[in-house]
Structure 1
């Protein structure tokens, strides 16, 4: 009789734990926008945009080419809205150097592209950096020096991801976190898009934004 009672109590305890686990609320993730650039959905700039730099669809991808005259960015939309506990943007890109100058061949993700803008940039030869371009002063402010990263695939596509949650912005290359920083004064990942430097090309084949609430 004692053995039966112990088994019954164990079953009852397991049942209670199971019920409690089921009541736990999992934050809801919503894909706000996703594209593989197989066709022009009208969200991205095309044509000659500034200083001879241009953006266009090619081979089922979205290409941006920076001229010798300077940088170019193309932003898609304001994606995030309402109460958000976590914002994520993810893209798969390949960076080409269109010149013989090794300092060229730079591109990546841009956000908060309004008066000033912020860039998560990578190079064709395996470096990454974070920077802010101040339009009023016409100068760059960098948050770190160039970092050589063996995780960056050379002459190939790399996945870039930015996550913002709890006042912190985190940066990933091929699913490996490479940096984090305070999101104060950079509190939104809106005005998102791509950035390309002079004499450089960005070839994008995937872009996604995800919002998590709760």
Structure 2
């Protein structure tokens, strides 16, 4: 299915039932870290490690058997969760597995989040991807006018390894070890990191995420 991600449609589609708090640290935590060092990592074995825990009619975000589950039952809605960190330049990785629901969905990573603004790197379970900026209540794709397809995305009930590099004004997206997008934008300088799952016109997107890591690029 072809999805056109115009600025108008994105304002509607990128609503959220959960608003993340602003990062707790005023100064980015990665300033003195050498390249390649682990800034933060979580295998979700400890349910007190700081991620959002939410359960309502609209869906669930919670630790689940040594991983983290995001179930979105509302239409045209994103859930996102963050560990309350603050980084400037960061490389993010996570394993994301679809458990159920429509393949027309959103699964991805976010960086430089203030709670209201963030960069997003998303795939869908039917093979589309996008990189963009959510700011001032609007979401805009960067470097593309609509969601594009990639043969490197595993479709359906499958696991995808996602990687997002936020370095200076360079935003690079990798799926299963392959670079699929690289764009430039200098709007956001630092902020929290996290994971995002969302729906389009059909509810019930159910995703398990694991092995989240933030590295110094």
TM-score, length of structure 2 as denominator length: 0.71
Distance 1:73-1:187 versus aligned 2 partners, 3 A rule? same
1:166 CA displacement = 4.9
Whole-Å separation in 2 of the counterparts to 1:28 and 1:108: 24
Alignment length (residue pairs): 175
Question: 2:173 & 2:84 partners in 1: Cα distance?
Answer: 21
Residue segments in structure 2 that go unaligned for 5+ positions in a row: 1-33
* Partner Cα separation in structure 2 for residue 185 and residue 123 of structure 1: 25
Equivalents in 2 of 1:96, 1:125: separation in Å? 14
Is 2:66 the counterpart of 1:66? no
Residue from 92, 95, 103 that aligns with 2:95: 92
Check the 8 A contact 1:167/1:182 in 2, yes or no: yes
Q: How far does residue 68 in structure 1 lie from its aligned partner after superposition? A: 1.7
Q: Which residue of 2 aligns with 1:118?
A: 119
Gaps of at least 5 residues in structure 1 are: 1-26
RMSD: 2.3
Q: What is the alpha-carbon distance in structure 2 between the residues aligned to residue 163 and residue 118 of structure 1?
A: 11
1-structure distance, mates of 2:136, 2:173: 24
Q: Residues of 2 paired with 1:48 and 1:135: CA distance?
A: 27
Query: Partner residue of 1:109?
Result: 109
Change (3 A) 1:166 1:42: closer
Greater CA drift, 147-156 or 89-98: 89-98
**In the TM superposition, what whole-angstrom CA distance separates every residue of 1:149-171 from its partner, at most 9, and x where no partner exists?**
11112221111111233532211
- Tell me the CA shift for residue 57 of structure 1: 1.9
Is residue 149 from structure 1 mapped to residue 150 from structure 2 by the alignment?
A: yes
Which structure: larger Rg? 1
Deviations 1:164-197 (A, max 9, x none): 3353221111121111112411333x31111111
How much does 1:97 deviate?
5.1
